[in-house]
């Protein structure tokens, strides 16, 4: 690997990337060329297949521990094990009206915490956006009291689409659980198909990354069918207990805002501050020290999975929409989250491995300067492509075929996600076509091509080539 990187006449990264400048879309051909030069360079080194080995410049490596099997909370399998589950929620007229008032007040507005200080724009404050109302929930023959609130970014809320929900079982009693769970996350789909989050998490889990369990949930509201959601397991203390030997350390949401999600009373964030400070150091210092505090191998694997999909606003491209856990055994470990913006126009099928669709996340943009980590990244992209991602179109057939009748049954609802079974099928075909084009693009680039492949997912989706296989 050291020799592979040492091809001075053919640097792997284009000059603007080596100088840390933000890439321009006009320069993306150089990004493609950089991958080709890396793969085609006639040097004696090879990509090291042993992920525990690191070059001197990479510093001491923490081990890449595979997630533990999700067996500790067996009760939750009733919620996440089947492809499709049903849940009934009862809510008073007063509480439903209150959710309507919050939706009207915040719809189309930014979250206040996302705006720069001093901005005059009217925004939606957290206290309003996350206001809970009392409900009761029935599932699997059990009925429990709970609280519900709106979920998601209010910029995406609308009048004629179903509300997304967070349903909490540990309010006001923080020790209360239902099936061992603190909460449910019911996610709508803004880009059609209703499978993007679940598909992305499925790829993550197939690649050995600790990721939330997912399936689909039909919500009945006051006795009437309301909507179908992607049912996504919460990342919290229970999730940590399922996946890590020690679940008592600090868990944070995002890297930019870094919201502490466990041990809030102690509030000791010095370790995360030190991690942020490390990324302010030179490449030499960063490369020497990061492996001693973080599970770098896991970070690279995650970035590669996101790049393969591709994702648009997660670790690979933004340092946002993720959780990060200070695992006492393997070091800082990233947990994927909010992968709804994958495999569509903001994360197109021909997104560059080097530049993403537009740019990279600040931390990953630094990490790809390291020759070992970059080699791991290309190795992991190829592995993801040839295993989980290659199997994804067939998996989408299974999911969409299993959901299409349930979706069609709600097509007359005032908040229907799809007007008919045909419109749902069309969105599934479009997603399959995007993945097919992405596979074609990545195969070309990883084989030393320019990436200038001809592929039209829209035309493919309208043809019979992407028809769902519902045998």
Distance CA 32, CA 432 (A): 24
Q: How confident is the model at residue 18 (pLDDT cuts 50, 70, 90)?
A: very low
Per DSSP, the three-state class of 388 is: helix
Name the helix (H) or strand (E) containing 166. Answer: strand 165-168
Q: Mean pLDDT across the stretch 350-359?
A: 82
Buried b (16+ CB within 10 A) or exposed e, 45-69: eeebeebeebbeebbebbebbebee
Q: What is the pLDDT of residues 119-150, one digit of tens each?
A: 878 899 999 999 999 999 999 999 999 999 99
Q: Mean pLDDT across the stretch 281-302?
A: 97
Name the average pLDDT for the chain. 85
Backbone phi, then psi, for 56, in 5-degree steps? -55, -40
Q: What is the pLDDT of residues 356-379, one digit of tens each?
A: 766 788 899 999 999 999 999 999
| pLDDT at residue number 95 | 98
| pLDDT at residue number 121 | 83
Q: Decide if pLDDT at 421 tops 90.
A: yes
Q: What is the pLDDT of residues 27-46, one digit of tens each?
A: 344 444 444 444 444 333 33
Q: What is the pLDDT of residues 235-286, one digit of tens each?
A: 999 999 999 999 999 999 988 777 899 999 898 999 999 999 999 999 999 9
Written as one string, the DSSP assignment of 288-303 is HHHHHHB-HHHHHHHH
The model scores a pTM over 0.85: yes
Task: Output Rg (C-alpha) for the chain, integer angstroms.
Answer: 23
Q: What is the pLDDT of residues 443-469, one digit of tens each?
A: 999 999 999 999 999 999 998 889 999
Note every long-range contact of 121-124, with CB atoms under 8 Å and residues 24 or more positions apart, other chains counting. Answer: 124/154
Name the helix (H) or strand (E) containing 79. Answer: helix 77-80
- Name the packing angle between helices 196-206 and 296-308 (round to 10°): 140
Q: Decide if pLDDT at 97 tops 90.
A: yes
Distance CA 103, CA 255 (A): 28
Task: Please check whether residue 274 is in contact with residue 357, taking contact to mean a CB–CB distance below 8 angstroms.
Answer: no
């Amino acid at each position: 690997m050291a020799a592979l990187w040492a091809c001075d006449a053919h640097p792997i990264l284009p000059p603007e990337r080596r100088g840390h400048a933000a890439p321009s879309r006009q320069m993306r051909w150089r990004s493609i060329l950089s991958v080709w030069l890396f793969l085609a360079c006639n040097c004696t080194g090879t990509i090291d297949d042993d992920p525990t080995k690191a070059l001197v410049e990479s510093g001491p490596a923490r081990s890449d521990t595979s997630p533990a099997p999700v067996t500790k909370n067996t009760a939750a399998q009733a919620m996440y094990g089947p492809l499709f589950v049903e849940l009934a929620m009862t809510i008073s007229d007063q509480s439903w009206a209150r959710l309507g008032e919050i939706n009207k007040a915040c719809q189309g507005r930014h979250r206040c915490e996302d705006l720069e200080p001093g901005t005059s724009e009217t925004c939606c404050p957290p206290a309003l956006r996350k206001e809970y109302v009392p409900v009761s929930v029935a599932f699997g023959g059990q009925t429990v009291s709970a609280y519900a609130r709106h979920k998601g970014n209010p910029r995406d809320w609308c009048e004629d689409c179903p509300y997304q929900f967070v349903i909490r079982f540990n309010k006001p009693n923080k020790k209360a659980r239902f099936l061992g769970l603190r909460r449910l996350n019911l996610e709508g789909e803004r880009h059609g198909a209703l499978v993007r989050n679940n598909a992305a998490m499925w790829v993550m889990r197939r690649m050995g990354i600790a990721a939330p369990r997912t399936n689909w949930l039909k919500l009945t509201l006051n006795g009437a069918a309301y909507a179908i959601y992607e049912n996504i397991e919460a990342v919290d203390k229970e999730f940590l207990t399922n996946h890590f030997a020690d679940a008592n350390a600090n868990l944070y949401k995002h890297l930019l805002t870094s919201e502490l999600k466990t041990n809030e009373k102690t509030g000791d964030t010095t370790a995360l501050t030190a991690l942020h400070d490390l990324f302010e150091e030179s490449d030499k210092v960063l490369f020497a020290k990061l492996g001693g505090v973080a599970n770098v191998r896991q970070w690279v694997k995650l970035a590669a999975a996101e790049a393969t999909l591709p994702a648009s606003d997660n670790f690979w491209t933004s340092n946002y929409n993720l959780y990060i856990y200070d695992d006492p055994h393997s070091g800082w470990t990233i947990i994927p989250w909010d992968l709804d913006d994958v495999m569509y126009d903001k994360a197109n099928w021909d997104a560059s491995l080097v530049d993403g669709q537009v740019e990279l996340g600040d931390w990953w943009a630094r990490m790809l300067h390291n020759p070992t980590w970059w080699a791991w990244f290309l190795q992991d992209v190829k592995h993801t492509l040839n295993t989980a991602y290659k199997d994804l179109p067939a998996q989408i057939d299974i999911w969409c075929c299993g959901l299409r009748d349930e979706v069609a049954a709600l097509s007359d609802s005032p908040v229907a996600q799809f007007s008919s079974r045909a419109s749902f099928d069309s969105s599934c075909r479009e997603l399959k076509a995007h993945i097919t084009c992405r596979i074609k693009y990545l195969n070309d680039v990883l084989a030393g091509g320019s990436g200038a492949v001809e592929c039209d997912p829209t035309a493919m989706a309208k043809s019979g080539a992407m028809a769902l296989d519902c045998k």
